[in-house]
Amino acid sequence: MKSVIINENLCVGCGKCVTDCVSEKIKLIGGKAQFMYERCIGCGHCYAICPMGAVTLTKFGDIPEEKPISMTEIDSDMLLHAMKSRRTIRKFKDEKISDEDINTIIEAGRYCPTGTNAQDFSFTVIKNTDFLEKEAVSVFRNAQKIGGSFVKYIRNTTIDDNFFFKKAPLVIVVNGKGKTSPCLASSYMELMAESLGLGVLYSGFFIAATKFSRKIAKALNTPEGHTPVTCLVIGYPDVEYKRIPPRNEAQVNFI
């Protein structure tokens, strides 16, 4: 079955899907749009731009139609202020996060842009962090004893029992074949979590621990071909910040 099906009865031959097709797989023949070749990247531009709803994307199954909302409907000054106000959170309340909110965070990550619409990432949702935290703590404490180049980052750091996840109720590891897509997904997910009243810590130390422990790697059960790239520690903040700290001026070159 073709990955793109165009209903000729609905198609009015406007040509919008033709000019917007990234892969140049759609042609206008006899006043009707026709999907000519496979190797479609599945970006969905043809589906999104068709004014008549004549395009079906078969590889995604039955998908409910959603009308897009322009980002211009979000006040840009308010959005920038909110983005500048975000803080990395390391103190969390003992309060669970609903499955609905978890799914919303994942959905935000799922819709981040990826090259050729590869969606080359996966998510590992961790609600019970006890074993993973205990094992990661053990790895780092042993590293402090053994020494080595990595230890310079944690030489004078206290590795307590909650060093990695800070007693947060939720951890999401974003995995991928490369780093760009998982990082983009993580950024989308963090902003969504913030909008839900949650705080986020990127635990780079835990990602480091995954590289040194086979037990952690096995427990995460990462899909074949994927490796852990980012670790989002998520929960309701148990700290309140009163002002936005300063930043250096942006380094910008205009050429």
pTM of the model: 0.91
Q: How far apart are the C-alpha atoms of 196 and 148, rounded to whole Å?
A: 41
Cβ atoms of 143 and 208 closer than 8 Å? no
Phi-psi region of 39 (alpha: psi -120 to 50; beta: other; left: phi over 0): left
Q: How far is CA 47 from CA 26, 43, 54, 136, in A?
A: 12, 9, 8, 45
Which structure tokens are listed for 174?
């974003």
Name the residue ranges covered by the structural domains of the chain: 4-60, 72-235
Write the pLDDT tens digit of every residue in 97-155: 999 999 999 999 999 999 888 889 999 999 999 999 999 999 998 888 776 666 677 77
CATH number corresponding to 72-235? 3.40.109.10
Q: Which two tokens stand for residue 126?
A: 């961790």
The 3-class SS string of 66-94 reads: CCCCCHHHCCHHHHHHHHHHCCECCCECC
Residues present in the chain in total: 255
Q: What local confidence, expressed as pLDDT, does residue 23 receive?
A: 86
What does the pLDDT average to over 234-239? 98
Instruction: Report d(CA 132, CA 119) in Å as an integer.
Output: 26
**β-pairing verdict for 121-126 and 55-57:** unpaired
Q: How confident is the model at residue 78 (pLDDT cuts 50, 70, 90)?
A: very high
Task: Please give the pLDDT value at position 55.
Answer: 94
The class that CATH gives domain 4-60 is: alpha beta
